[in-house]
Amino acid sequence: MLTPFLTLWLAGILLCLLQFVATLPWLAAVDSRFFASAVRRPRNWGIAFAGIAGAGLALALFLMIVQDRERLYLWGRLFASLLQIQLIADGFLLGIAVILWVWPRGGAVALAAFREGVRQPLFWLFIAATIALMGLSLFVPYFTFGDDFKMMKQLGFDMVMLGAVAFSVIAAGMSISDEIEGRTAITLMSKPVSRREFLLGKYVGILLAGLLMTALLGWALQWALYFKPFLEWMPDTSDPLKAQIEPALMGAVRGISPVGEAGSFLHGMTLWSTDTATILPGLVIGFCQVMVLLAIAAALATRLPMVVNLVTCLLLFFLGNLAPVLVEVSRRLQREHVGTHQGQTSATLDLVQFMARLFDTVLPALEYFNLGPAIVRDRPLPIVDYGWYVGSVVVYALLYTAIALLFGLILFEDRDLA
């Protein structure tokens, strides 16, 4: 029978082994030749397992020293958050490898665009600015009569989405427009890369950079939502969706987790996983909006310079959000003027209603991406219905993205690059 210390040590070894396995993909990406040669040597595997055993022992001793349950919850959250960052890196490396394997030439363009986007100071500037705004939102009073936490959560999702949208649109204008205007696209087209692969590869690469920004900002949003109740007392910080997810995850972990310090540490990791699952649908819906607006920006970048493209996308963003309101207002005014003899006013309202319906039909329906009704509510959303809604938003975003990119390919097909 295992003693409490051996149980802690075994748990520490398993957790450190998990971290080690999550580290391998991006270690291989840093220097693939050195990694391949190191893997072939059995001595290195022995050193690695000895290091894991030593790290597990250090973690076990640390848990025995801490002992306080609340502090162990916090350390479990911290460990899970670091593991999440590693899994994000692993997911991007695996995704890029799959793209290069399935789509070699377009994937090479996408990889170059992704590297160009991530290496730009603008990428990290948007991340730093958004995180700073999240930190500022921790201290701002919202005067919502008990819904400050929900308001901050909604603003946090909006900040993540707007940061990724702004970067993606600017990156599309700079990367696509500058290469076309600077005649560097001609050099790329002289190689076996078609115009379709060039435009779609650029789009995929910038989209991956926007997805990385969304993932990192979502990680920061989790910590902001965690610290908010500690900085200011709030009558209600509950999340109906979290209340539905947490019991299932806790029940699954409780059946396999040991008692004592290791159990409390795993409990903290489970709490972080619950927070991740809670905000994931909101991040997916926000990223769908990034996908749509980036497709429009990439299509317009084949003809318009970066500044004009940015202004056009900004105008489309506002019109896409205002179009349903304009339709409803025009209908209400039309009903109020029915039966009157003001011909000129009626004709004006008909024109306004026509333009509102045109905007609502042609422009992306950005009201579908609004998370306010899902967050600011007292009753929990049915998980299945919420999942269907998120899935329908994803399908709508994919369809509109395909239409916008098809329009961009048509514009780019007869564009003179010489």
Q: Please indicate, yes or no, whether residues 30 and 74 belong to a single structural domain of this protein.
A: no
Q: What is the pLDDT of residue 165?
A: 95
What whole-number distance in Å separates Cα of residue 148 and Cα of residue 225? 11
- Answer with the one of 30, 50, 66 that is the final residue of a domain: 66
Residue 218 lies in a domain: yes
Q: Please indicate, yes or no, whether residues 178 and 320 belong to a single structural domain of this protein.
A: yes
Q: Please indicate, yes or no, whether residues 95 and 59 belong to a single structural domain of this protein.
A: no
Q: Please indicate, yes or no, whether residues 58 and 82 belong to a single structural domain of this protein.
A: no
Is residue 176 within 8 A of residue 167, CB to CB? The reply is no
- Answer with the one of 66, 88, 108 that is the final residue of a domain: 66
Q: What is the pLDDT of residue 145?
A: 66
In terms of Cβ atoms closer than 10 Å to its own Cβ (0-12, 13-18, 19+), residue 106 is buried
Q: Please indicate, yes or no, whether residues 174 and 280 belong to a single structural domain of this protein.
A: yes
Question: Could you tell me the mean pLDDT of each successive run of 10 residues in the chain, 418 residues long?
Answer: 77 90 84 83 89 92 87 92 93 93 92 94 96 90 72 91 95 86 66 85 96 97 90 68 77 67 86 91 94 95 90 91 83 70 63 81 86 71 85 95 94 77
Q: DSSP letter at 412?
A: H
Q: What is the pLDDT of residue 247?
A: 78
Q: DSSP letter at 368?
A: G
Q: Please indicate, yes or no, whether residues 233 and 287 belong to a single structural domain of this protein.
A: yes
Structural domain boundaries, residue 20: 1-66
Is residue 302 within 8 A of residue 181, CB to CB? The reply is no
Q: Which two tokens stand for residue 3?
A: 């003693």
339 Rama sector, left if φ>0, alpha if ψ -120 to 50, beta otherwise: left
Q: What is the pLDDT of residue 346?
A: 67
Q: Please indicate, yes or no, whether residues 147 and 21 belong to a single structural domain of this protein.
A: no
Q: Please indicate, yes or no, whether residues 244 and 105 belong to a single structural domain of this protein.
A: yes
Q: What is the 3-state secondary structure (H, E, C) of 165-212?
A: HHHHHHHHHHHHHHHHHCCHHHHHHHCCCCHHHHHHHHHHHHHHHHHH
Q: What is the pLDDT of residue 344?
A: 53
Residue 231 lies in a domain: yes
Residue 177 lies in a domain: yes
Q: What is the pLDDT of residue 362?
A: 87
Residue 224 lies in a domain: yes
Q: Which two tokens stand for residue 168?
A: 């993606």
Q: What is the pLDDT of residue 89?
A: 92
What whole-number distance in Å separates Cα of residue 51 and Cα of residue 337? 79
Q: Please indicate, yes or no, whether residues 22 and 118 belong to a single structural domain of this protein.
A: no
Residue 345 lies in a domain: yes
- For residue 400, give the amino acid letter: Y
Centre a 10 Å sphere on the Cβ of residue 50 and count the other Cβ atoms it contains. 10
178 Rama sector, left if φ>0, alpha if ψ -120 to 50, beta otherwise: alpha
Helices (H), 232-305: 240-254, 261-301
Q: Please indicate, yes or no, whether residues 2 and 104 belong to a single structural domain of this protein.
A: no
Residue 314 half-sphere exposure, CB side, CA atoms within 13 Å? 10
pTM over 0.95, yes/no:
no
**In the chain, helix, strand, coil percent, each to 5?**
85, 0, 15
Residue 2 lies in a domain: yes
Q: What is the pLDDT of residue 2?
A: 61
Q: Please indicate, yes or no, whether residues 385 and 241 belong to a single structural domain of this protein.
A: yes
Residue 418 lies in a domain: no
Total structural domains within the chain: 2
Q: What is the pLDDT of residue 100?
A: 94
Q: Please indicate, yes or no, whether residues 62 and 76 belong to a single structural domain of this protein.
A: no
- Answer with the one of 66, 87, 109 that is the final residue of a domain: 66
Q: What is the pLDDT of residue 187?
A: 67
Centre a 10 Å sphere on the Cβ of residue 276 and count the other Cβ atoms it contains. 17
Residue 408 lies in a domain: yes
- For residue 165, give the amino acid letter: V
